[in-house]
Amino acid sequence: MINLSKHIIFFCVAVLFTQFNLTGGELQVGKSFQYKSVASAISASVNGDTIIINGGFYKEANLVIREKIILIGKNNPIIDGESRYNILSIFSDSVTVEGITFQNAGISFIEDNAAIKLDSVKHCIIRNNTFINNFFGVYLAEASYCTITGNSISAQSKKETQSGNGIHLWYCKNILIENNSIEGHRDGIYFEFVESSIIKHNFSFENLRYGLHFMFSDSCTYSENRFEDNGAGVAVMFTHRITMVNNEFIHNWGSASFGILLKEITDSKIENNYFYKNTSGIYLEGCNRIIIANNDFIENGWALRLMANSMDNIFRENNFIGNSFDIATNNTKNYNLFEYNYWSEYSGYDINKDGIGDIPYRPVKLFSLIVERNKPTLLLLRSFFAEILNYAERVFPALTPKKLVDNSPAMQRLQ
Amino acid sequence: MRTLSKIIKYQLNDVFRSKWVVVYTAFFFLISYGLLTFSHDSSKVLVSLLNVIIIVIPLISIVFGTIFLYNNKNAITFLLSQPVERKLLYIGLYLGLIIPLTLSFIIGTIIPVIIFFKVFNENFTTFLLLIGAGIFLTMIFGGIAFLISTYNEDRLRGLGISIFTWLLLSALYDGIVLLLLQVFQEYPLEKVSIALSILNPVDLARIIVILKFDVSALMGYTGAVFQNFFSGGLGFIIASSALLIWIILPLFMGMRKFIKKDF
Amino acid sequence: MININRLVKNYGRFEVLKNIDLSIEKGKINYIVGPNGSGKSTLIKIILGLVKPTGGEVFIGEHKINSDSDYRSKIGYMPQAASFPENLKVREVIEMVKDLRNHKSDFDLDLTEKFRLEREMRKKLCDLSGGTRQKVNAAIAFMFNPELLILDEPTAGLDPVSSSILKDKIIKERNAGKTIILTSHILSELEELADNVIFLLEGRIYFYGTLSKLILTTEQKNLERAIASIMNGAPV
């Protein structure tokens, strides 16, 4: 009985709450509506109101929201910042912005002008908007429990200095960034001092610097994202406990370009990711206790670049297929573990048919060492002579790190 | 032109009936088929095929080509006693060798690829480049073989020179290049290393393939010369024209000698 | 028919033909004789354009031999040991030569019939015996009614029956006005066929004239002795 009555009370409250919301004021903006400008509607609104912006072109900037309101675009309204201003700032919790096109937030070297800026707020939702040619797209500072979802964010900047980030987070917590597509910004998604947030199913491509730039942001998860053709790939730095799963890193080309650059990362998980045709798949510098498992490294220049100060990392059950070089390292020792990986270059045998090769695989080739020390020799890649050198080194290992070895290489590609 | 096509016609009639064409086709078929059944990764298959192509094709083409002219010496003399121009006969003989070799290679390699077509989707253009490189190498080493054969009456000597030429271009040359690059490491050697590679047809063919296949690694090199060479079409154009020169030059030199020669 | 002026051929420092002047009559059987290495083959090959002379000139009729090839359609050549593309059938080789010579009709099939080559047409060249190859060789040389026939040791390797068939054919062609150049070591054959004898020794022509003139000038009893005396340095 008590249980039931509890339920009934809860139901009533819920109904009341929604009723309250529905009965909140509705302010229509548009040429043939009560409010001709967005600004006038916002200044007229109170907590709980819904502003409906009807289709049209609004040259408005420096809009400020200080009430808990909902801002909804109907028939694709466009708000234009005339390449000079910040467009919309939100200083109130629980604001929703949906279905609006924001364009031309101005480039500024003093202020971080953005299409939407959220400052010290909670429970805001930025959903299904379009952002075109803004300095910054969505900018969150000291925000928490917000959701950025289904937005399309693009810019056409040519220079890093004249370009801001697509989605920018600074000192935030518990943010969900999902289903956005970001292109042509400086960094697609930028995290600095962010905690416990989730980046999921975004598509970040052709950004000038990083598809994702991530610093001092512990305990975050990013999954199912796709990072493609970014100037320098993805950089994750100075962070503990991150989880990266089911992401795709594709075509990040250049001498300083990486599928992922990992710098000072500890106690993290990198699993089920797909690295295809990057100059370097993963670059690890000062990384400890990372589990790198079940990833596909396919046709990268270097699948892994493992710097000497990285220790106690585990590389398990990954596929290394058709990479120009599997691993490059500047160390003669090795304090990381490689096991059960599939290496397409492996040419050993499996007599007892347990699926594990009977002779160990050494993923660092002599030729790869030569290239590290003398770059122009790269031109001899895949030559008969380079193969002979590699073969000789395999038979009498002398220069390659003895302990960097997979003692249990898989015979077949792992699914 | 008509005489040339006649010569080629009978030459092909002759060559296609010899056993080595069948053996050569079977060889590539087995390699290609074997690689594809053993591994379903197109990239792995491509790398192995590249190794086979840059080692085996030059060897077979240069050895076959050299022996081919020696073995057909009397038939050549007979044909030259007919109203046939020497220039045309030389080209006819060359094409009569190159066409069967190329077709053997293409058919042998490509049939398994058609059977396992699904394996190559992304990498099909790289595969075509590989086939192209194989064709170029056949033409180049066939021409070099004819050159060697035409200049040397003694067949053992000719064969020796051919095998040495193969060894030089396939392995020793790269060893020397590596040594040079190591010794003069302090100097900017980007241009030099590109130039050195262009001088060797085996390296050229290999570079044309890796320009596509290993572009991710090649783009990792900071040198501006490399960047320009690899990223634009420039590298491809330079490499392709160098290959053309490598086909034409030995053929032309051999032909000049052939025209002046006593039979 | 053939005029040779100041013909010189050197192989490196080795002089094979030393300043040869020769005029070969039309409609005659001309025998080139001489010991091995005297330059017979070289002379023939120069006429065929297979060997390039070091100096001098060769005219066939009005035509001066250069590096062109068309004049060879007037020549039928039967090499000492013929070799054709090995994997072709006899019929295909014949077709090939017809094709290359661009000769479409008016074939002389005398020898093909008399040698009974019809039976061999489907066989590959590499499956034929030496004698049969030689017959094919002869048949091809005569097939295109050439004005000039160059036969290098034609009867070597032929059985006596085939040999006489060939000799009859040679005489027949001569009577039809063809010019024939032959080399041979078989003196009886020379006596039987030769109108003129060209005697080559160490790259020089020691004698050119009729058979009877040769015996007469050397004052010997027969041809064999006449030739031996030239080789021993008798003045001619």
Residues C146-200 pLDDT 10s? 889 999 888 888 899 999 999 999 999 999 999 999 988 777 888 888 888 888 8
C105, C148, C154, C106: which is closest to C133 by C-alpha?
C154
Tens of pLDDT along B184-221? 888 888 788 888 888 899 998 998 888 888 878 877 77
Q: How far apart are CA C23 and CA C6, in angstroms?
A: 11
pLDDT of residue A222: 92
Q: For residue A322, give the amino acid letter.
A: G
List of chain C residues whose C-beta atoms are within 8 Å of the C-beta of residue B89: none
Strand partners, C104: none
Number of CB atoms found within 10 A of residue B137's CB: 31
List of chain C residues whose C-beta atoms are within 8 Å of the C-beta of residue B10: 85, 88, 92, 96, 99
pLDDT (tens, 9 = 90+) of chain A, 415 residues, equals 455 555 655 555 444 444 444 457 899 999 999 999 999 999 999 999 999 999 999 999 999 999 999 999 999 999 999 988 899 999 999 999 999 999 999 888 788 899 999 999 999 999 999 999 999 999 999 999 999 999 999 998 778 778 899 999 999 999 999 999 999 999 999 999 999 999 999 999 999 999 999 999 999 999 999 999 998 889 999 999 999 999 999 999 888 889 999 999 999 999 999 999 999 999 999 999 999 999 999 999 999 999 989 999 999 999 999 999 999 998 888 899 999 999 998 988 999 999 999 999 999 999 999 998 888 888 899 999 999 999 888 888 888 888 899 999 999 899 8
Query: B14 and C82 in contact by Cβ < 8 A?
Result: no
pLDDT of residue A9: 58
List of chain A residues whose C-beta atoms are within 8 Å of the C-beta of residue B51: 382, 384, 387
A196, A313, A193, C159: which is closest to A213 by C-alpha?
A193
Chain A: partners with 3+ C-beta pairs within 8 Å: B
**Residue numbers of chain B with a pLDDT score lower than 70:** 1, 222-227, 230-232
Strand partners, A261: A235, A283
The residues spanned by each domain of chain C are 2-231
pLDDT band at C235 (very low <50, low <70, confident <90, very high): low
- C-alpha count within 13 angstroms, C-beta hemisphere, residue A286: 8
Residue holding tokens 């501006």? B224
pLDDT band at C225 (very low <50, low <70, confident <90, very high): confident
Cα distance from C158 to chain B (closest Cα, Å)?
19
Question: What is C150-192 written as a DSSP string?
Answer: EEESTTTT--HHHHHHHHHHHHHHHHTT-EEEEE-S-HHHHHH
pLDDT of residue A19: 45
Pick among B3, B77, B78 to test the C interface (most C CBs inside 10 A): B78
Residue of B75, B81, B260 lying closest to C50 (CB–CB): B81
Model-level ipTM above the cut of 0.90: no
Let me know: does C52 contact B262? Beta carbons within 8 Å.
yes
Q: For residue C13, give the amino acid letter.
A: R
Query: A302 and B220 in contact by Cβ < 8 A?
Result: yes
Q: How far apart are CA A251 and CA A274, in angstroms?
A: 11
Residue of B11, B74, B262 lying closest to C52 (CB–CB): B262
In degrees and rounded to multiples of 5, residue C226 shows phi and psi of: -60, -45
List of chain B residues whose C-beta atoms are within 8 Å of the C-beta of residue C68: 85
Query: B75 and C83 in contact by Cβ < 8 A?
Result: yes
Could you give the number of structural domains in chain B? Answer: 1
Q: For residue A213, give the amino acid letter.
A: H
Chains C and A lie in contact, requiring 3 or more CB pairs less than 8 Å apart: no
Residue of C73, C92, C124 lying closest to B83 (CB–CB): C73
- At CB < 8 Å, which residues of chain A contact B? 253-255, 257, 277-280, 298-302, 321-322, 324-325, 344-345, 370, 373-388, 413
Number of CB atoms found within 10 A of residue A114's CB: 28
Strand partners, A227: A204, A249
Tokens of C153: 């040791």
**Residue B135, SS3 per DSSP:** helix
What kind and span of H or E run contains C133?
helix C130-143
Q: How far apart are CA A158 and CA A291, in angstroms?
A: 37
Nearest-by-CA chain C residue for B18:
C87
Q: For residue A328, give the amino acid letter.
A: A
Q: How far apart are CA B175 and CA A298, in angstroms?
A: 29
List of chain C residues whose C-beta atoms are within 8 Å of the C-beta of residue B260: 52
Q: For the packed helices B155-167 and B42-71, what is the interaxial angle rounded to 10 degrees?
A: 160
Query: A322 and B39 in contact by Cβ < 8 A?
Result: no
pLDDT of residue A3: 57
Number of CB atoms found within 10 A of residue A207's CB: 30
Nearest-by-CA chain C residue for B84:
C69
Q: How far apart are CA A127 and CA A72, in angstroms?
A: 10
Burial C155-182 (b: 16+ CB within 10 A, else e): bebbeeebbebbbebbeebbeeebbbbb
pLDDT of residue B167: 96
Let me know: does A83 contact A112? Beta carbons within 8 Å.
no
Query: B44 and A344 in contact by Cβ < 8 A?
Result: yes
List of chain B residues whose C-beta atoms are within 8 Å of the C-beta of residue C48: 80-81
Query: B219 and A387 in contact by Cβ < 8 A?
Result: no
Domains defined along chain A, listed by start: 48-395 (2.160.20.10)
Residue of A255, A298, A324 lying closest to B222 (CB–CB): A255
Chains C and B lie in contact, requiring 3 or more CB pairs less than 8 Å apart: yes
Query: B181 and A376 in contact by Cβ < 8 A?
Result: yes
C178, C168, C106: which is closest to C148 by C-alpha?
C178
Pairing of strands C55-60, C63-64: antiparallel
Cα distance from B167 to chain A (closest Cα, Å)?
10
> B179 vs A325, B172, B234, B238, CA distance in Å?
21, 10, 27, 25
Strand partners, A320: A297, A343
pLDDT of C203 over the 90 cut = no
The verdict on B19 touching C (C-beta cutoff 8 Å) is no
Residue of B10, B11, B74 lying closest to C83 (CB–CB): B74
Give B 48-77 residues with CB within 8 A of chain C. 72-75, 77
pLDDT of residue A347: 86
List of chain A residues whose C-beta atoms are within 8 Å of the C-beta of residue B207: 379
pLDDT of residue C236: 59
Let me know: does A377 contact B223? Beta carbons within 8 Å.
no
Residue of B194, B215, B222 lying closest to A379 (CB–CB): B194
Chain C: partners with 3+ C-beta pairs within 8 Å: B
Residue of B10, B78, B86 lying closest to C82 (CB–CB): B78
Question: What is C137-154 written as a DSSP string?
Answer: HHHHHHHT--SEEEEEST
Tokens of B75: 């038939």
Q: For the packed helices C130-143 and C90-101, what is the interaxial angle rounded to 10 degrees?
A: 30
Strand partners, A351: none
% residues pLDDT > 90 (chain C):
14
Query: C79 and B17 in contact by Cβ < 8 A?
Result: no
pLDDT of C131 over the 50 cut = yes
Tokens of C37: 């290495």
* CATH class of the domain comprising C2-231: alpha beta
